[in-house]
């Protein structure tokens, strides 16, 4: 029986890798210029998929804004497929919320452009998130297509299967067994057919026992559209009587394949097998500085800034959505599968550090601004000037001690609740600071005037109750002695409980002692500095 081969012309686009983002952007503009022209002038070329991400359109329209209508028409007519991603994100190195936001931005943008590809398309990312099926379905996506993460025997009889998330949600999926480039060099040359194309199609046939539909991705990294594909495919159909090849798109393939076929196989959870397609597990520890910087950005953005902005909106403080959009796009660009893996050139990694550092600065500036705006709004509401506002950006009520830094005119001060109940506190450290000088303009000219000194005090307040996604306000009475004690630092470098004691000696050697067995281990942890014979993708120890 003749097999139907769905050849999908596409380009996989890396924003940076062994090249810089500037290099990629230059090529991108020329690539998309040529793509638009080719699709408009060649109706026999039905469609083209541009890597399932929308950020490439963002970049293109910044340079070619005059082509927006042309882009929108091609997308709306299902001739140019983009989305659902904003960038082809790494699924495992960032927070799950970042993955969700990446899809959110990508889906919103591509919907506005005319169409979102209804496929969770991940041709090159290094491992699949266990909850992708659930996340995809929540965004209205119908199918999933990916390359990396399954074992050969999982797809030995069917490359189509049901992919199930831990919460039980299932999405129809296809594994592109030979990656995204088996049809990249489609040719009617006899040697190419015999040694490359025919063996690939035969193997795809063996691994599709419940359908006669075969998927042949025809593209590669940063490639141009091949104008000759329609003619080449017509010639291939003449030379390969057992296969009927059609130039089409991923949505058409999945619709045709799943509409009338039942696939018995179910694969569950996170997919990180590296048998057929490499997962590059060790790049997860490459360039720790980038990984740590990414963590700081995500942590402050998700766990502090956005909740603070939400709290602020209750006081009429404008939600800084445009700033957040800018920050999130920097995060998405830095979390592309090569980017956050740091498997890049030094120049590209430098750019990622700069991008994430910029995002971190913006986040900290916004946190400071929103806290100031909130405190001013609370001060106005309570009609009190000398207050301390403690924020809780968690979704649960918090009840614990808090450290606070206060600036007062006097050495002594009292803390009170909003019910005028005195609050005990411990002074950890206090400094008297020079007030400096100010310039005063007088009739006789500018004069320096001394400012009285003031106090910076670090205190610890016990048993503070903070409502979920809210705040607690305390009153400060400057110059009135409160219920306080002074804490002194413990010089002994020891921590212990009833089971273990951990200590540092004067030479900074660590000792771990089991108090039950009285056994002790000196220097229980160490770093082993080894040479690496691999690359930034994969660690490989040097033998001998």
Where do the structural domains in the chain lie, given as residue ranges? 3-261, 284-382, 387-486, 490-544
Q: What does the mean pLDDT of the chain come to?
A: 95
Long-range contacts of 191-196 (CB under 8 A, 24+ apart): 193/236, 193/239, 193/240
Contact 389, 464 (CB under 8 A): no
Is the separation of the CB atoms in 95 and 373 below 8 Å?
no
pLDDT tens-place string over residues 63-77: 999 999 999 999 999
Supply 503's token pair: 């200590």
pLDDT one-digit tens code per residue, 161-183: 999 999 999 999 999 999 999 99
Average pLDDT over residues 235-251: 98
Q: How far is CA 192 from CA 184, 185, 476, in A?
A: 12, 9, 81
Round to whole Å and give the CA distance between 85 and 239.
38
pLDDT at 541: 82
Is residue 491 scored above 80 in pLDDT? no
For the segment 231-247, the average pLDDT, to the nearest whole number, is 98
Nearest to 483 by CA among 431, 429, 412, 418: 412
What is the pLDDT, as a whole number, of residue 444?
A: 84
Of 56, 66, 65, 62, residue with least CA distance to 32: 56
Share of the chain above pLDDT 70, in %: 99
**What is the structure's pLDDT at 528?**
82
Helical axes 321-334 vs 96-113, angle rounded to 10°? 110
Beta-strand pair 143-146/119-122: parallel
CA nearest 293: which of 350, 337, 240?
A: 350
Q: 200: which residues sit within 8 A by CB, 6+ positions away?
A: 178, 182, 216
Structure tokens belonging to residue 287:
């360039």
CB atoms within 10 A of CB 50: 25
* pLDDT at residue 544, as a whole number: 62
φ/ψ bin of 308: left (φ > 0), alpha (ψ from -120 to 50), beta (otherwise): alpha
Q: And the tokens for 445?
A: 């000219």
Q: Tell me the per-residue pLDDT of 127-138, one tens digit each, with 9 for 90 and over.
A: 999 999 999 999
CA distances from 90 to 124, 181, 194, 427 (A): 9, 20, 36, 46
Q: What is the pLDDT of residue 205?
A: 98
Q: Give the burial class of 478: count Cβ atoms within 10 A of its Cβ; 0-12 exposed, 13-18 middle, 19 or more buried.
A: middle
> CA Rg, the chain, in Å?
30
CATH of domain 387-486: 2.60.40
pLDDT value of position 488: 72
* Mean pLDDT on 22-47: 98
Q: Is the pLDDT confidence value at 416 over 70?
A: yes
What is the third-level CATH fold of 3-261?
7-stranded beta/alpha barrel (3.20.110)
Give the CATH number of domain 284-382; options: 1.20.1300.10, 1.20.1270.50, 3.40.50.300, 3.30.1360.120.
1.20.1270.50
| Arithmetic mean of pLDDT, 7-16 | 97
Per-residue pLDDT for 417 more than 80?
Answer: yes
pLDDT band of residue 533 (cuts 50, 70, 90) is: confident
> What phi, psi does 413 have (nearest 5°)?
-160, 160
**pLDDT over 80 (residue 46):** yes
Strands 170-175 and 160-164, by their bridges, are antiparallel
* Count of residues in the chain: 544
Q: Which of 209, 216, 217 is nearest to 156 (CA)?
A: 209
How far is 521 from 71, CA to CA, in rounded Å?
A: 66
The contacts of residue 332 (CB under 8 Å, 6+ apart) are 55, 86, 87, 89, 98, 101, 102, 105
Q: Name the band, by pLDDT with cuts 50, 70 and 90, for residue 535.
A: confident
Strands (E), 303-424: 387-392, 398-408, 413-416, 422-423
Separation CA 519–CA 501 (nearest Å): 11
* Mean pLDDT value of segment 384-390: 96
Q: What is the pTM of this model?
A: 0.92
The stretch 264-277 carries a mean pLDDT of: 95
- Encode pLDDT of 434-465 as tens digits: 999 999 998 888 999 999 999 999 999 988 99
pLDDT for the residue 501: 94
For residue 213, give the 3-state DSSP assignment: strand
Distance CA 254, CA 6 (A): 10
Coil, helix or strand at residue 443: coil
Q: For the segment 341-368, what is each residue's pLDDT rounded down to a tens digit?
A: 888 999 999 999 999 999 999 999 999 9
357 and 292 Cβ atoms separated by less than 8 Å: no
Closest to 240 (Cα-Cα) out of 283, 190, 290: 190
């Amino acid at each position: 029986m003749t097999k139907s081969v769905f050849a999908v012309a596409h380009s996989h686009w890396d924003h940076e890798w062994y090249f810089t983002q500037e290099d990629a952007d230059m090529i991108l503009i020329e690539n998309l210029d040529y793509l638009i022209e080719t699709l408009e002038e060649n109706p026999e070329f039905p469609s083209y998929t541009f890597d399932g991400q929308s950020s490439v359109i963002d970049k293109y329209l910044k340079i070619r804004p005059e082509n927006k209508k042309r882009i929108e028409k091609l997308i709306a007519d299902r001739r140019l497929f983009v989305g659902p991603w904003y960038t082809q994100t790494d699924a495992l190195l960032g927070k799950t919320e970042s993955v969700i936001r990446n899809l959110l931005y990508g889906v919103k943008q591509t919907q506005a452009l005319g169409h979102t590809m209804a496929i969770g398309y991940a041709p090159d990312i290094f491992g699949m998130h266990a909850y992708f099926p659930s996340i995809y379905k929540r965004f209205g996506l119908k199918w999933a297509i990916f390359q990396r993460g399954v074992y050969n025997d999982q797809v030995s009889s069917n490359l189509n299967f049901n992919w199930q998330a831990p919460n039980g949600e299932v999405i129809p999926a296809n594994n592109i067994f030979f990656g995204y480039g088996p049809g990249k060099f489609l040719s009617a040359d006899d040697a190419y057919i015999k040694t490359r194309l025919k063996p690939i199609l035969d193997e795809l046939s063996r691994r599709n026992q419940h359908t006669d539909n075969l998927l042949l991705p025809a593209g590669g990294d940063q490639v141009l559209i091949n104008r000759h594909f329609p003619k080449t495919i017509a010639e291939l159909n003449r030379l390969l009587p057992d296969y009927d090849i059609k130039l089409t798109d991923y949505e058409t393939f999945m619709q045709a394949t799943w509409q009338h076929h039942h696939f018995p196989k179910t694969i569950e959870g996170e997919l990180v097998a590296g048998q057929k397609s490499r997962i590059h597990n060790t790049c997860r520890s490459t360039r720790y500085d980038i990984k740590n910087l990414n963590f700081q950005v995500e942590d402050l953005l998700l766990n502090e800034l956005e909740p603070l902005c939400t709290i602020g909106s209750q006081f009429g403080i404008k939600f800084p959505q445009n700033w957040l959009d800018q920050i999130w796009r920097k995060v998405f660009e830095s979390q592309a599968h090569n980017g956050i893996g740091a498997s890049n050139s030094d120049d590209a990694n430098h750019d990622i550090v700069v991008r994430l550092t910029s995002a971190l600065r913006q986040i900290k500036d916004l946190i400071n601004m929103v806290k100031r705006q909130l405190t001013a709004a609370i001060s106005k509401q309570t009609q009190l000037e000398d207050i301390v506002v403690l924020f809780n950006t968690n979704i649960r009520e918090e009840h614990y001690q808090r450290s606070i830094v206060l600036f007062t005119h006097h050495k002594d001060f009292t803390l009170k609740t909003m019910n005028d109940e005195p609050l005990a506190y411990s002074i950890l450290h206090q400094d008297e600071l020079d007030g400096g000088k100010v310039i005063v303009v007088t009739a006789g000219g500018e004069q320096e005037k001394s400012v009285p000194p003031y106090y910076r005090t670090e205190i610890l307040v016990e048993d503070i109750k903070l409502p979920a996604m809210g705040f607690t306000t305390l009153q400060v009475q400057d110059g009135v002695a409160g219920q306080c004690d002074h804490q002194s630092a413990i010089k002994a470098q020891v921590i212990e409980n009833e089971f273990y004691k951990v200590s540092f000696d004067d030479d900074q050697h660590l000792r771990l002692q089991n108090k039950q067995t009285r056994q002790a281990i000196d220097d229980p942890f160490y770093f082993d500095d080894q040479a690496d014979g691999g690359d930034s993708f994969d660690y490989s120890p040097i033998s001998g």
